[in-house]
Amino acid sequence: MTGASAEQIAAVLGPEGRLAQIVPGFSWREQQQAMAERVAAALAAGEHLICEAGTGTGKTYAYLVPALLCARKVIISTGTRNLQDQLYHRDIPALRRALGLPVQVALLKGRSNYLCRHRLQRAVEDPAALRPDVRRDLGAVRDWAAETRTGDIAELPIAEDAAVWPTVTSTTDNCLGQDCPQWQTCHLVEARRRAQAADLVVINHHLLCADMVLREEGFGEVLPGADAVIVDEAHQLPDVAAQFFGSSISSRQLLDLARDLAAAQQTDAADAPQVRQLATALGELVPRLRQGLGGGDRRAAWHEVDGMAGVAEALGDLTTLLADLDATLAALDRGSRELDQCRMRAAGLQQRLDALLDADDGRRVRWLELRGQGFRLHQTPLDVAGMFRSCQARQPAAWVFTSATLAVGASFAHFAAQVGAEEAATARWDSPFDYARQALLFTPPDLPEPWAADYDTGVAEVALRVIGASRGRAFCLFTSHRALRLAAAAFQGRLAYPLLVQGSAPRAELIERFRRLGDAVLLGTQSFWEGVDVRGEALSCVIIDRLPFASPGDPLLQGRIDALKRQGGNPFRELQLPQAVIALKQGAGRLIRDARDRGVLVLCDPRLRARGYGRVFLESLPAMPRTSDFNVLTAFFGGAED
């Protein structure tokens, strides 16, 4: 495989390169050029490479430039749809224009991101059967459907979680495939065709993993034919892979089946009331099962509900109902595409339920997730590395995994083991930012141990004092919703700056308000630890309450811990500590986003100094001055606290 030479990379990204000459604001970064050269070499050699690029390196251009210059088919997988859209709509077009390259590029998302013409038509024909919140948005979707060329639902300014979308998009379960009357004009089919013809295809991790396990049946494959796969935000990939390599049954899947079955009976089997009765019974069983699983939003191990009388009875009824549904539809045999599809879905759900109810085999963990009125029952493999190895062995291509947070200290062993890439080459580039001048690490003295009853109160008092010195302009990042709520209560009436609390408004709106206000204090949990980019003085302080060790009560983590113990491993050193280090690097990475930024990182957890493993966290952060003296912190901000 050919690839870009170091000279070609320098001609684009070097201090006198093409981008420096024509792109306003472009600044040469040695780390960016070095990373691009290393990625180009990996693409040319067809090797596997794991590389970390610190904040500010410009890693996006560092892998896009060699990908565009290599003259081969490249798949780029991103962690989020937002980054996917940014690459396709902004970064890649800018580089293509600057370089004058006629590279054909395609954007490909999962099927739930595309309008399904068939399901839209059915919804429009029978609006009375729809919920009021679905009917409210259906007209806008219908009007847009007549104009859109791509069918990408991101084009329409309707919330991602709006109730209308499941009604007018398809899933692997309910898609009719080539039996669909709208197959020839299907937006997803057309997107797949464009991807097959393109030189560079931008996808996301969910689609990458779905493709690996052939979840997208009937639409061909993306990866065969690709000469290279570049995985950005690769630290997210193992968790996404565990989701896709496992299986689950959700309340939404069951309710969707009940709704689609009732609609198909009305149009294709009106003289078969037994089908309607089964659909009704399924719709009534789901809330009964949800009630039996208990209240509140939580994740729980299977043994917590296994054997509970109400749950066991409901699961038994569900097994019987799915079997009856399969048998009834088989006997009916009306030649209906919709009824046949419902039968296949029922059989698939029954198979997954049977597997879920089997005894554990030591290679998977069974658990459940409750949110609002819904539930999801999971069985998740404890190790996905073997599946990655098999996929990479079948696909002779270069694989590049990159992120700002992959290494623990200087080691990539944890991530490499997760994705079965122990033999991969590795490379690491520090941030080009001057942390010694731009940042300060403050570790408050005299806080109690994190499990002490007064710890959260102590953190809140420290945060209030720090925020006074920083004059607002702070992110307070918490490892639990409970700690966030306690801090929010402690701040009420005592904060001289605007207070923004996660959950009070959508995430994007809170971030925009934080930028606009300029002196606000934002309290957030996990979703604010990464993917947030606030540059300038509006964010001058990041306060983190605890070292972000995952809750030992999390059922998936506990299953992995138990498996490591059975193998004679050390779960803390091999699993819990590396995960926490990478999470802390993500949170700390919110602070310095630009060469002109200045700020203080406050790590409240006293274990950072008192425990031997604290050194692993400190060595994984950018090198910056450290202090426990509040006067030093105040001086950094240029004055006395308010």
> What pLDDT, on a 0 to 100 scale, did the predictor assign at position 509?
92
| pLDDT at 621 exceeding the cut of 60 | yes
Q: Which of 295, 481, 314, 311 is nearest to 372 (CA)?
A: 295
Distance CA 241, CA 385 (A): 9
Residues 6+ apart with CB under 8 A from 585: 404, 405, 620, 621
pLDDT tier at 60 (50, 70, 90 boundaries)?
A: very high
Higher pLDDT, 203 or 307: 203
Distance CA 380, CA 244 (A): 9
| pLDDT at 42 exceeding the cut of 60 | yes
- Give me the amino acid identity at 270: A
Q: Where are the beta strands (DSSP E) in 179-276?
A: 200-204, 228-231, 247-250
Q: Which phi and psi (to 5°) does residue 543 adopt?
A: -110, 125
Domains of the chain (ranges plus CATH)? 46-109+199-243+383-429 (3.40.50.300), 111-189 (no CATH), 247-381 (1.20.1440), 435-636 (3.40.50.300)
| pLDDT at 137 exceeding the cut of 60 | yes
Distance CA 178, CA 318 (A): 30
Distance CA 536, CA 599 (A): 10
8-state DSSP, 623: P
Distance CA 40, CA 313 (A): 58
| pLDDT at 332 exceeding the cut of 90 | no
Label residue 409 left, alpha or beta by phi (over 0 means left) and psi (-120 to 50 means alpha). Answer: left
> What pLDDT, on a 0 to 100 scale, did the predictor assign at position 223?
61
Distance CA 122, CA 213 (A): 30
> What pLDDT, on a 0 to 100 scale, did the predictor assign at position 215?
37
Secondary structure class of 428 (helix, strand, coil): strand
Distance CA 520, CA 564 (A): 44
pTM: 0.91
Instruction: Please give the mean pLDDT across all residues of the chain.
Output: 91
pLDDT digits (tens, 9 = 90+) for 268-295: 888 889 999 999 999 999 999 999 998 8
pLDDT digits (tens, 9 = 90+) for 476-490: 999 999 999 999 999
| pLDDT at 604 exceeding the cut of 60 | yes
Distance CA 584, CA 603 (A): 10
Here the tokens at position 481 are 């919703």
Q: Which of 266, 191, 165, 179 is nearest to 218 (CA)?
A: 179
Please state the separation of Cα 327 from the chain's center in Å: 39
> What pLDDT, on a 0 to 100 scale, did the predictor assign at position 389?
87
What's the rounded mean pLDDT across residues 55-68? 96
pLDDT tier at 580 (50, 70, 90 boundaries)?
A: very high
- Give me the amino acid identity at 31: Q
| Alpha-helix residue ranges (DSSP H) falling in 471-554 | 481-491, 507-517
Can you state the angle between helices 205-212 and 237-245, rounded to 10 degrees? 40
> What pLDDT, on a 0 to 100 scale, did the predictor assign at position 173?
82
Q: Which residue carries 């996929």 as its tokens?
A: 391
Q: Which of 38, 32, 39, 1 is nearest to 17 (CA)?
A: 32
Full 3-state SS string of 332-349: HCCCCHHHHHHHHHHHHH
pLDDT digits (tens, 9 = 90+) for 438-452: 999 999 998 999 999
Strands ordered across the beta sheet of 499-501: 499-501, 521-524, 474-477, 541-544, 599-603, 439-442, 626-627
8-state DSSP, 573: I
Largest Cα span, the chain: 82
Degrees, nearest 5: CA angle 530-535-541: 70
CA dist list (Å): 241 to 51, 244, 353: 19, 5, 21
Can you state the angle between helices 273-292 and 251-268, rounded to 10 degrees? 170
What's the rounded mean pLDDT across residues 594-621? 95
Name the least confident of 30-44, 136-150, 156-170, 456-470.
156-170
Write 611-617 long-range contacts (CB < 8 A, 24+).
613/577, 616/408, 616/409, 616/577, 616/581, 617/547, 617/580, 617/581, 617/584
Q: Where are the beta strands (DSSP E) in 93-154?
A: 105-107
Here the tokens at position 90 are 């902004």
pLDDT tier at 199 (50, 70, 90 boundaries)?
A: very high
pLDDT tier at 361 (50, 70, 90 boundaries)?
A: confident
What's the rounded mean pLDDT across residues 338-350? 91
Q: Which phi and psi (to 5°) does residue 228 adopt?
A: -155, 145
> What pLDDT, on a 0 to 100 scale, did the predictor assign at position 517?
97
